[in-house]
Amino acid sequence: MSIQELRCERQEGIALVRLNRPEKLNALSRTLIKALQDLFKQLNEEKSLRAIILTGEGPAFCAGTDLNEIAGLDVEQAIAASRRGQELCNAIENSRIPVIAAVNGIAAGGGCEVALACHIRFASAEATFSLPEIKLGIIPGYGGTQRLAREIGAGRALEIILSGRSLDAHEANQVGLVNRVCENDALLSEAAALGNEIAQLAPLAIRAALESVVRGLEMPLEQGLELETNLFAKLFASNDMREGTRAFLEKRKPVFNGT
């Protein structure tokens, strides 16, 4: 894959990842899916990173899967394609570093599913969200049927999936699909501001909070509470916990080092 199709910039603990196929509305080719998955693996190994922002170049966040690659698939190939997309979305959702989607335009099909896998979603006023696969005679295959229902409830999710209709940014905000709607020219700055806010906090606690929420949602409440207790208790062995409590008592800003 040409490196121009995926760009990554790092600055002050934040990685800005851009899908860069604007001529294809940042559609997900097989090679782009693999490259993006590999990049997330690499970013999660970088100890200096505190937040990841994912966005698209041009007028779209991501228009979904490149249809030229899936139109002629047989059943076995379709299984493999679905699993590739799900593995990418799982890698995003299971990231130890918070992932903020800055949805700058169209987020359709696989692109909407990628956004759903991110921990937090900001949308520009021009953003749209859809899972239109039903219009092609198929269903979402990268986790959309599962994540959308968990995010906004089964009834609302089914209305969107069964109709294939598109939601504008404000409707997406109303149903809880996005956290915030931003002015178009302020989208990245607002996402970066949140990333910087997170970057000032204790990395171990951030990771524990992500794990507790993401894994806990898949568990019965009793097991989720046990997971929370264990993660909570482990942090009491960290230098960051001692620094945080001392700084609070001394009325100063804490300096966390991730240990």
113 annotated active-site: yes
> What distance in Å separates the CA atoms of residue 91 and residue 88, rounded to the nearest whole number?
5
Cβ–Cβ < 8 Å for 118, 101: yes
Cβ–Cβ < 8 Å for 28, 56: no
Of the residues 113, 159, 183, 226, only one is catalytic, namely: 113
> What distance in Å separates the CA atoms of residue 216 and residue 224, rounded to the nearest whole number?
4
Q: Tokens 């940042």 identify what position?
A: 26
How many alpha carbons lie under 13 Å from residue 129 in its C-beta half-sphere? Answer: 31
Number of other CB atoms surrounding residue 108 within 10 Å:
25
Closest listed residue to residue 180, CA positions, set 127, 140, 221:
127
Q: Tokens 């076995």 identify what position?
A: 76
133 annotated active-site: yes
Of the residues 93, 133, 151, 171, only one is catalytic, namely: 133
Task: Quote the tokens at residue 209.
Answer: 């909070």
> What distance in Å separates the CA atoms of residue 150 and residue 153, rounded to the nearest whole number?
6
Three-class SS state of 53:
strand
The residues that are catalytic are: 113, 133
